[in-house]
Amino acid sequence: MARIHFKPEKVTHEIEDGTPLIDICEEVSTSLSFGCTEGTCGVCELTVISGSKNLSITTEEEKDYLLPEDLQSGMRLGCQLKIRKGDVSITWKNNKT
């Protein structure tokens, strides 16, 4: 069982290991938006606050869309993410507060 915390909404969801973030967001109320769902539009950009090692590895789409410094600072594309295990905390785009 994994847990994902959405900081902007101050809510934590328990999920099966390996669940795609987009599936979680379809089932729960969240203000994270999705567009293309294929890693090309950037609508789903988010920032990982903690637990990045518990996420799926960076996809080619994320490497193409995000700048290296963005990736380094914890930005990911939500449509590309799976929560592999453990605890993960995310916020939307550059909003780390």
Q: Give the nearer residue to ligand FES in terms of CB position, either 43 or 49.
A: 43
Nearest Cα to 75, choosing from 41, 48, 36?
A: 48
Q: How many residues bind ligand FES (CB under 6 A)?
A: 13
Helices (H), 1-97: 21-27, 60-65, 68-72
- Is residue 90 within a helix (H) or strand (E), and if so which, with residue range? strand 87-92
> Toward ligand FES, which CB reaches closer, 41 or 49?
41
Q: Segment 12-71, which members bind ligand FES (CB under 6 A)?
A: 34-37, 39-44
Which stretches of the chain bind ligand FES, using CB under 6 A?
Answer: 34-37, 39-44, 77-79
